[in-house]
Amino acid sequence: MMKRYRQYLLLEKSLSSNTLEAYMDDAMKLLGYMDDCGIDITDVTLDDLHGFAAAMGDLGIAPRSQARIISGVKSLFRFLVLDGYRQDDPSELLEAPKIGRHLPDVLSVDEIDCIIGQIDLSQREGQRNRAMIETMYSCGLRVSELCSLKMEDLFLDEGFIRVTGKGSKQRLVPISGRAIHEIRNYLSDRCHAEIKPGAEPYLFLSLRRGRPLSRIMVFDIVKDLTAKAGINKTVSPHTFRHSFATHLLEGGANLRAIQCMLGHEKISTTEIYTHIDRSRLREEIVSHHPRNL
């Protein structure tokens, strides 16, 4: 059954490898719990699922992680119904814990310029890092989207790049003139690198190893540059994506346009940036309104 479920996630849902493994792990957590209770997965009831949810809370699993696991559980039961293992779906009325809106740290334009200013262009990787951060910020990319960018995805003369997001969905994203300039400068360095077989299509490479940059490598680069810039915020590659969206909203961009550029399936996901904008508006009022002085 689990082999068939894996095939369902891979072939019918077209999930990325990371998401697929997370869903498989969620399913195994549920199966392990039900096995300990002596309950077959085809006999599970809503009360049994409530017991599973309560057990997650007892184990100290955070609400956000509980919500993700419950999403995986719901996916499993949808499969069980579709594949004929069950006639009903007991997870339909299973509710995930409420999660408060988390407003992520956002960098100002000056802070982004300061981080980029820490890049040492005399180093072999300097121009690559400059192109990488400009592209992340200019296009609002997830770190996985950045690492998977290929040479064939660049349409620099037209001012666009092709991005492969979650679920292998592709979208065209405008790219800034500054990012285009930095990429073209980097490409002259890239062509002198000894590229390992299989890595040729990828844009951003480890110039020393000749392999595609990994997510961990990008995290480490951003962390190092942020520390050198003396910025006391929690900054990750995703922070540049948040900053991209927030700066667009503050500049008057339409929320629907931001949704398309970020690759969000639901507009509700994009609406978090309106909360960020409102919180900044309040800060401005508190700081400058005469009744608050």
- Which tens digits make up the pLDDT trace of 240-275? 998 988 888 888 777 788 888 888 877 766 666 666
Which has more pLDDT, 163 or 290? 163
44-102 confidence digits (pLDDT tens) = 999 999 999 999 888 888 888 899 999 999 999 999 999 999 999 999 989 888 766 56
Residue 15 is predicted with a pLDDT of 83
**Mean pLDDT over each residue of the chain, to the nearest integer:** 87
Q: pTM of the predicted model, to two decimals?
A: 0.63
How many CB atoms within 10 Å of residue 80?
Answer: 22
Rg (CA), the chain: 23
* CATH number for the domain running over 2-93: 1.10.150.130
Distance CA 74, CA 287 (A): 46
* CATH number for the domain running over 109-286: 1.10.443.10
Judged against a pLDDT cut of 80, whether residue 288 lies above it is answered with no
Distance CA 147, CA 142 (A): 9
Residue 192 is predicted with a pLDDT of 86
Helix (H) or strand (E) segment spanning residue 132: helix 126-139
By annotation, the residues acting in catalysis are: 142, 166, 238, 241, 264, 273
Domain-wise residue ranges, the chain: 2-93, 109-286
Instruction: Output the furthest CA–CA distance in the chain (Å, rounded).
Output: 67
